Amino acid sequence: MLQPVPMPVGRPLVSAVTGTNGKTSVATATLQLLRAAGLRAAGCDSTGITDVHGALRPAEFRRSAQYLPDLIAEQVALGAEAISLEAFVGILKDGLLTQVEVDVAVCTGLERDHLDVHGSLEQYWGAKLRLFEEHLRPDGAAVLAADCVQGDLVRAAVARRGARLVTVGPGGDVELDDARELDAPRLRGRLRVGAERHDVVLPTVHGVAVTNLLLAASAVIALGGEPEVVAGALSEVAPPPGRLEVVGVRDGVTAMVDTAHNPAALRSALTAVRARTEGRLLLVVGAGGERDRAKRAPMGQIAAELADLVILTDDNPRREPAARIRAEVREGCPNCLEIPRRADAIRAAWEMARGGDVVLVAGKGDETVQLVGTRRVPHDDRVVLRELLARG
């Protein structure tokens, strides 16, 4: 039996997730599972603020250590018993969690990203580790995958804090056994929690998505959720928008979007989609401007390695010359097609696709604007794909 953390006095239970990729998926799944476990829960993540009644509003972060305590107090006044937080690196770096005590902290892995802000991997990872070193209560629990990237850094931080470690995956405290695929995209198996085993159906077959669900389930169980109830609720967890989202299928061609905007996330998304693709994988991808330039060529290399056809396009160039961004990505995929205007690139990929193919548009996911110079230009990859699906 996985022992829950001690109940806090005078405040709600708090779960927080950090890492380079997968944070929103884990945070939103945690919120849903907390509610399934019978707790009145609220959440704050990149999709916005979800109050205890399920209403969603934009999150407008102020650079003040009082912002999150005020938000939590607001939700407690509405009856919140638990809070699910996505601990962005900016929140940790700027000390916005200073007045928040975390009962369960989750790490999805530490990869390369945001070096334009932090200067080095060590500083970036160090900001992430503050969740475990400073904000996790000493008698709380840290949750991470057994194969967590840079997991040794997290384990060392947890040990210094004196908190309990919960590992997820083969040989860990929580594990999915006897996994077998049902009708796509579902997976059936047995959720092992310590010595207990419970039947489970997961609404995904993608490896990283499965891991994210198990991390969320482990966090909720560590917060006191009954393992059997949590296991039963996993089949109903809805992913956040824009994460390996299937926009539609027409004439055997599947249209998908994903938020992947760094090398690790792009590799993960392409690997997951490749495993489910009967025909070719057609990728539309770019890189953001005024961000870590060193990740652009590796993204191009990964695209060339895992996709059958790569169309290089503009992402959010911001105030950086878009042509320079594309040229730096192209260093990794010299044989790709280049179509600067994003909507045109998506249309070109769709027109080249045939039955059995998948068109994956990566980088922006559920974003509804494109940042060009100082302008916010209306653009949604999903809207473009829906128009193509409707047209045939």
| CATH number for the domain that contains residue 275 | 3.90.190.20
Task: Specify which residues 254 forms β-bridges with.
Answer: 249, 358
Higher pLDDT, 93 or 170: 170
Last residue of a domain, one of 209, 236, 263: 236
**pLDDT beyond 60 at 118:** no
What would the mean pLDDT of 338-360 be, rounded to a whole number?
A: 99
Domain presence at residue 2: no
| Whether residue 320 sits in one domain with residue 192 | no
Which range has the worst mean pLDDT, 130-134, 158-162, 184-188, 335-339?
A: 184-188
Q: Which amino acid is at 346?
A: I
Structural domain boundaries, residue 312: 245-391
| Whether residue 356 sits in one domain with residue 218 | no
pLDDT of amino acid 1: 61
Domain presence at residue 6: no
How sure is the predictor about 116, in pLDDT bands with cuts at 50, 70 and 90?
A: low
Domain presence at residue 5: no
Alpha helices in the chain (DSSP H): 23-36, 67-77, 89-93, 115-118, 121-130, 151-161, 207-222, 227-233, 263-274, 296-306, 322-330, 342-352, 381-391
| Whether residue 273 sits in one domain with residue 215 | no
**pLDDT beyond 70 at 153:** yes
pLDDT of amino acid 123: 84
Separation of alpha carbons 238 and 206, rounded Å: 14
How sure is the predictor about 41, in pLDDT bands with cuts at 50, 70 and 90?
A: very high
pLDDT of amino acid 114: 64
Which range has the worst mean pLDDT, 116-125, 189-198, 258-267, 366-375?
A: 116-125
**pLDDT beyond 90 at 22:** yes
| Whether residue 334 sits in one domain with residue 287 | yes
How sure is the predictor about 224, in pLDDT bands with cuts at 50, 70 and 90?
A: very high
Q: Where residue 24 sits, what CATH number does that domain have? A: 3.40.1190.10
pLDDT of amino acid 112: 62
| Whether residue 306 sits in one domain with residue 221 | no
Tell which residue, 216, 217, 246, has the closest CA to residue 230: 217
| Whether residue 25 sits in one domain with residue 159 | yes
Domain presence at residue 4: no
Last residue of a domain, one of 236, 267, 291: 236
Is the Cα torsion angle 70, 71, 77, 79 positive or negative in sign? negative
Q: Provide DSSP, 290-331.
A: TS-GGGHHHHHHHHHHH-SEEEE--S--BTS-HHHHHHHHHT
| Whether residue 197 sits in one domain with residue 78 | yes
pLDDT of amino acid 115: 57
Count of the separate structural domains present in the chain = 2
What would the mean pLDDT of 103-132 be, rounded to a whole number?
A: 82
**pLDDT beyond 70 at 251:** yes
pLDDT of amino acid 62: 66
Domain presence at residue 8: no
| Whether residue 138 sits in one domain with residue 56 | yes
pLDDT of amino acid 150: 87
| Whether residue 88 sits in one domain with residue 35 | yes
Separation of alpha carbons 150 and 159, rounded Å: 15
| Whether residue 181 sits in one domain with residue 70 | yes
Last residue of a domain, one of 236, 263, 284: 236
Structure tokens at 377: 């230009």
Query: How many Å from the N-terminal Cα to the C-terminal Cα in the chain?
Result: 53
- Percent of the chain at pLDDT exceeding 70: 97
Domain presence at residue 149: yes
Look up the pTM and report it: 0.93
Residue count of the chain: 392
| Whether residue 104 sits in one domain with residue 150 | yes
pLDDT of amino acid 119: 64
- Percent of the chain at pLDDT exceeding 90: 85
Tell which residue, 139, 115, 141, has the closest CA to residue 292: 115
| Whether residue 58 sits in one domain with residue 134 | yes
Domain presence at residue 3: no
What would the mean pLDDT of 232-248 be, rounded to a whole number?
A: 96
Tell which residue, 212, 94, 78, has the closest CA to residue 148: 212
**Mean of the per-residue pLDDT values of the chain:** 94
pLDDT of amino acid 110: 86
